[in-house]
Chain A
């Protein structure tokens, strides 16, 4: 599904035609199978083709339907047998042996399309084409221009040179001038790039700013005034112990369960996590989706090694029950269906579901857009269509299932009770059937009996124990390879695509995955140390969530169309460190945050801005607007209202709750209770894996701040807290600045507040001046930005 708007980029992917052997073999087999009576021999047929059919096609069709057409019409080529069978946008042009069902014949007869459009062919030509189709559309073995045939169209050695497919090696650390502040190798990489571009290394951030930044980064809520002053004092006390104290703060934050809530949510974006299935009507809710969400949070809190985290999400069902929950990554994806059972729609729905699995798998773990190869070979990256179906085949052998999480006894009790309900219902049906079959009214006695069983059914239903908890998981349901679906249409099969990994990563010799669906083998290939993508992709994501922008600014596309890294050596250094630390994400946080680069000021620098407006070289810490979760959680935290309960079922209307925003119920289609609020502040619609959040400023966001009951409640709570804790207006204003912004107000800000409190109210409003003031303070940019 990708318009090829960049033909120039495609120039590299030359089509090399070495497919005649395969084609002629297929042709021989096919001819043997058709058999049939009244057939000319093969030689005669081919002679007929050359004398009658080929000239006809060349003269009347090739202007629009061949490799040489300037603009290919309807996606249809008539210059090889394979192309004709594959057909165009309206489907296969020829049904072999059946002229009446062949679009080509219908079109030349002017029954469906009218082809050729300018003038209808004469009757003899039409008859010749009919004859040819009836014979099975014989075509001589020849080099056929056929871009469908996989793995021949790419210049592999050339494409392999692309940076992201090169092996990861530990880079040599660059040397930097003696004056640069270097806390760890990250700073060497960054400082040397700044120096190369004649930019100054930025100054360190003020300690209070850095503490607030670190809290929000790691746990998603700002420090309380007490915490802030404790750490600022500790860090600033002794210059020689500064780094140690800061490191200790990071360690403490990483131990808080709120860390997993914050960083688990970053992963849930990538996993396009949703509480509903999401075809057109969200008609298949996932009642226990939250089990996967909590599993992700717990994995981050436990610092589950990333290779294990990946493995469990791909094939945790083949490890143990707990790990199986990880496969919710796939089980909770959008599953499409058809509302009428029309075969085209059924096939389309299935192929769309597989597309989700392949797309999410490849972008999340590998930073590759394999789904681009669903209908044709990837136009930019060396990913043939066959590779798409190699991966799709693995998921085609995997089914969504429910993994019970309750004790066996509880399950038994539940199922036994359900059995009783069914039995009672059956009894009702049986009793009702007797008089009906005999075409008479039930007797009074029968009526009484039916009524009594109906009552029993109702009672049983009322007393039924709730369904025990289960997780949405996937399990193996077969071990078969798929065939390539021609132009993405599952109703049209091409050659077999053995289940195996991608050639660009694993090379030409690849293992055929035959253990069940092949997911365990797939997971191994993903986390194999020789895979150049997995570690790079993840450290890049971690970096992005600390700095607002990633080193590779297309975090889920490391292909040819992705952006190259701003600091390629730094990326590789991080990837090496990551794997050597045992894939520890927490260790990566420590490495990054203990660098001078992380700890720099976000102050603006006009000169640097003019030479590097996008801040790719990191001449400052990029100020960021909070994401919706952090903003809402922080609002509740500063007013003292945040409910810090961990985990559990999703909450329908998060704006009415005081739980963390992570626990909002999210859906794919119809914006329900929570979605409307979340999406207003750039929460991604979880229909596909989200590589990074956008941050748009919209007027409607300010309607929320000015008018929503949520904001007014927070304003009242804050006002109440200030009144309770402080006696004077000035002291209250001080406390508000300290709670919300982590600083004292200026003289000017005191003046502004004084003026606001003394302005005469216009009317008898139901929100007093202090409450109005608090609402403004909470809505202000200073609160919403991380600096």
Chain B
């Protein structure tokens, strides 16, 4: 295990500018000059809980945007092209004779969508993702994902916290614990969704036993108001100048108290935290307000709620937020892609249409702003759907094989890793469990998943529990 300090993830100047004049400056400055700080992240007292911390080794990415697709999008109708299904339609070869939740007895069911090849990489993509398809040369597809169970809630928690029950911290919380965040005036981890929260709700972005500072802050895209993203963000009575005087008075009294107490780190922290809170009142609404975006940008993203989430995600990572989790939902459904049971054609087409433009815009926008290199974008659901039919036109859950794709943040562009069997049912080549995905994400962020531990209730916990292998093959 090496404790060598690599180059800092952000330049010192960059960092100091972003932090403003608050406590973060002091904490970060002293940390950057301290070469011994590169080991396991330590919990500091007070507001420096979220101060930037150096990773274990040089990171490929600094931010994560997770485009979470609750309900389980079907791999063979989106990105995992399996022409052989058509040929064997109605048959039930042994490869697909696997038990899933409903143990469907029906045969292979061809995708109702056409597929075309795109880009230099010649990747086959379903017609329901025409715009995302234009970005395939930036995307790294993992077709060999698999997970533990075919039930939504448990599998969603597995995907977001690496455990089947809601009793562990989420990926974003672990990232904030391990790395802090770059902008102390914004939360380190933001979760968003249009209307419905994904099933399991706050557990998907919860801190569990990690300190509360690492919890995701949730914003509902449909109903949010920029000045209400955080509770009590706006003062209902006083204009800014007046409030400044009040804040000064409090700072004055607290400084007197500190002087009497002579030495107290927590009291010092609190004076700085108060100053930070004052600034948050203005920084947070600004980050969540898209009005200042150019017409071109707004047109690029389009008008859907999901696209608005994508645009906000870009604004947030641009301002230093560590992780954004954007969950898809239409019609207020908490497992949106589960409409695949009854009707793949109608259900999946509508869902894809609601997110395709936003996804493509996000990738393009990040790229043209030079942010894609340092931002890892992850697309996928908690599991996939079987290539056989359930009922007439739908598909049941499939946890043996599904697709997740990533872009930017140090993954190989225009690359495909792993494969399902010839019908797209089970991951057979270079299998990647969700734990492996988590290990890889942490690795890309400069963290060793076996060293990022938190002692709680007598044991050292990890995001990957006792599992996980980094998938080095997909790292650029």
Contact = CB atoms under 8 A, between A and B. Distances in A.
B457 A780 contact: no
Interface string B271-284: 00110111011000
Interface in B230-285: 230-239, 241-243, 245-247, 249-250, 252-254, 256-258, 261-264, 266-267, 269-270, 273-274, 276-278, 280-281
A279 B201 CA distance: 11
B161 to A, nearest CB: 11
Contacts of B262: 603-604, 606
A680 B149 CA distance: 34
Interface residues of B, number: 87
B59 interface: no
B47 interface: yes
A544 to B, nearest CB: 16
B462 to A, nearest CB: 5
Contacts of A691: 457
A656 interface: no
Contacts of A780: 250, 253-254, 257
B202 interface: yes
Interface in A685-735: 685, 687-689, 691, 694-709, 712
A342 B235 CA distance: 50
Contacts of B249: 752, 756, 772-773, 776
A561 interface: yes
Interface stretch (A218-226, A228-236, A404-412, A758-766): A758-766
A41 to B, nearest CB: 35
B265 to A, nearest CB: 10
B277 A702 contact: yes
Contact of A712 (B151, B211, B237): B237
B261 A707 contact: no
Interface stretch (A18-26, A343-351, A635-643): A343-351
A359 B165 CA distance: 16
Contacts of A763: 239, 241-242
A470 B157 CA distance: 33
A257 B202 CA distance: 36
Contacts of B195: none
A305 B166 CA distance: 36
B167 A687 contact: yes
B49 interface: yes
Contacts of A465: none
Contacts of B252: 752
Contacts of B199: 280-281
B340 interface: no
Interface stretch (A437-445, A449-457, A669-677): A669-677
Contact of B461 (A1, A606, A669, A685): A1
Interface residues of A, number: 93
Interface in B44-75: 45-47, 49
A697 B273 contact: yes
B236 A762 contact: no
A557 B277 contact: no
A352 B458 contact: no
A766 B237 contact: yes
A372 B252 CA distance: 49
A696 B212 contact: yes
Contacts of A775: 246
A340 B396 CA distance: 12
Contacts of A1: 163, 459, 461, 465-466
Contacts of B164: 345, 348, 352
B325 interface: no
Interface in B213-236: 213, 215, 230-236
Contact of B458 (A334, A559, A603, A707): A559
Contacts of A175: none
Interface string A549-582: 0000010110101100000000000000000000
Contacts of B101: 340-342
Contact of A348 (B149, B207, B247, B266): B149
A603 B267 CA distance: 14
A758 to B, nearest CB: 12
B92 interface: no
Given A339-B151, A752-B252, A706 B247 contact: yes
Contact of B231 (A369, A694, A703): A703
Contact of B238 (A679, A708, A772): A772
Given A3-B453, A669-B202, A781-B267, A752 B462 contact: no
Contacts of B150: 340, 342
A703 B246 contact: no
B240 to A, nearest CB: 9
A609 interface: yes
B269 A697 contact: yes
Contacts of B254: 780-781
B460 interface: yes
A698 B213 contact: yes
Task: Give the interface centre of A4, A89, A280 by most chain B CB atoms within 10 Å.
Answer: A280
Interface string B179-206: 0000010000000000000011111001
A6 B239 contact: no
Contact of A776 (B203, B211, B250): B250
Contacts of B257: 780-782
Given A2-B459, A3-B450, A699 B47 contact: yes
Contacts of A372: 458-459
A777 B278 CA distance: 17
Given A369-B458, A625-B266, A706-B243, A344 B450 contact: no
Given A3-B450, A348-B149, A706-B277, A369 B459 contact: yes
B449 to A, nearest CB: 9
Interface in A726-776: 748-749, 752, 756, 759, 761-763, 765-767, 772-773, 775-776
A67 B153 CA distance: 37
A700 B230 contact: yes
A763 B247 CA distance: 16
A698 B213 CA distance: 7
B266 to A, nearest CB: 6
Contacts of B151: 338-340, 342, 345
Nearest to B271: A781
A765 B239 contact: yes
Contacts of A342: 101, 149-151
Nearest to B167: A687
B154 interface: yes
Contacts of A559: 458
Given A557-B458, A688-B209, A339 B154 contact: yes
A669 B201 contact: yes
A773 B245 CA distance: 10
Contacts of B208: 685, 687
A3 B465 contact: yes
A24 to B, nearest CB: 30
B72 to A, nearest CB: 12
A759 B252 CA distance: 15
B457 A557 contact: yes
B443 interface: no
A696 B213 contact: yes
Contact of A704 (B200, B211, B232): B232
Contacts of B348: none
Contact of A703 (B281, B428, B450, B458): B281
A75 interface: yes
Task: Give the interface centre of A338, A340, A359, A701 by most chain B CB atoms within 10 Å.
Answer: A340
10 contacts: A1-B466, A279-B165, A280-B200, A556-B457, A625-B266, A676-B231, A687-B208, A702-B274, A705-B274, A776-B249
Q: What are the 3 tightest A-B residue pairs by CB atom distance, in nearest-first order? A: A369-B458, A702-B277, A2-B459
Interface of A: 1-6, 75, 89, 112-113, 278-281, 334, 336, 338-342, 344-345, 348-349, 352, 359, 363, 369, 371-372, 554, 556-557, 559, 561-562, 603-604, 606, 609, 623, 625, 669-671, 676, 679-680, 682, 685, 687-689, 691, 694-709, 712, 748-749, 752, 756, 759, 761-763, 765-767, 772-773, 775-777, 779-782, 785
